[in-house]
Amino acid sequence: MAKVGFIGLGIMGAPMALNLQKGGHELYVHDQKAPAQELIDGGAKVCASGAEVAKNADIIITMVPDTPHVEAVLFGENGVASGISKGKIVVDMSSISPIATKEFAKKINALGAEYLDAPVSGGEVGAKAASLTIMIGGSEAAFNTVKPLFELMGKNITLVGGNGDGQTTKVANQIIVALNIQAVSEALLFASKAGADPAKVRQALMGGFANSRILEVHGERMVKRTFNPGFRIELHQKDLNLALQGAKSMGVTLPNTAATQELMNACAANGLSGMDHSALCRAIEIMSNHEIAKA
């Protein structure tokens, strides 16, 4: 049994922490809001700050929305860095800047602790089912220590390389996911406007080379009009911004990523940023004056 700290108990973090607790680990948790009662009932100890989490836990996991949040949790007042000691491991499972990640790792390493960047893919469904894909950057020794915890939260677990490489992989993942959502949106809207039943078109496509998890899960959301968030548009906007900023710094072009980001910007402009990223289809529907299906 390990002493595990978990900071950030939102849509993703809460079920991930719960899976660690079910695995028999002792949890020290911190969030801006009260933790889920299920965690407390299971014995999780609520801490007043990141520093308190770091003092009590040997492995400290962070799962917060964006780069500034991770920086604040780690290095802000009463942050993890002020409570950490030699030999401990910080694992950031947020999706943030690969460049900032490398700097965060250096600062944590200077305190005698290890750092892993371990962003995830799979959304709320994957978090609850402990089937997340986890992409890790850091030392092999730290990875081997934390791997039993990763196995309680995910299925496809890969040590990609050094610090920052996990986050780079996540950015690449988000490019692929966003462009696939755009493709499914356009295909189903085209079919619907042409007079075909989009539900049956989706079913037919799932038997061919066009099949994907996006078509399966998010295509169904588009047809059934269920856009309650598993992963919000505003978070995917943030990830595509990381991709475009990185591309600019490296002197490469990502034209389709830029186009998809503009569709997400259109969703945000229409008050949809809090919806699931499958609601990207709404931008195309608004421009086309036609909905894939009626609610």
Is 242 within 8 Å of 225 (Cβ atoms)? Answer: no
Q: Reduced to 3 states, what is the DSSP secondary structure of residue 116? A: strand
Q: Residue 152 and residue 133: Cα distance in Å, rounded?
A: 12
* Known catalytic residue at 170: yes
Separation CA 234–CA 264 (nearest Å): 8
- Retrieve residue 131's tokens: 């089937």
Q: Are 102 and 86 in contact (CB under 8 A)?
A: no
Report the largest interatomic distance among the alpha carbons of the chain, rounded to a whole angstrom. 65
Q: How far apart are CA 143 and CA 129, in angstroms?
A: 22
Tokens of 62: 């962070």
What whole-number distance in Å separates Cα of residue 106 and Cα of residue 200?
52
Question: Residue 172: which of 94, 210, 119 has the closest Cα?
Answer: 119
Q: Which two tokens stand for residue 222?
A: 């588009």
Give per-residue burial for 206-231: e unless 16+ CB within 10 Å, then b: eeeeeebebbeebbebbbeeebebbb
> Which is the catalytic residue, given 102, 170, 193, 294?
170
- What are the backbone dihedrals phi and psi of residue 46, each rounded to the nearest 5 degrees, phi first? -85, 130
Q: How far apart are CA 56 and CA 185, in angstroms?
A: 47
- Contact present, 232 and 218 (Cβ < 8 Å): no
Please give the positions annotated as active site: 170
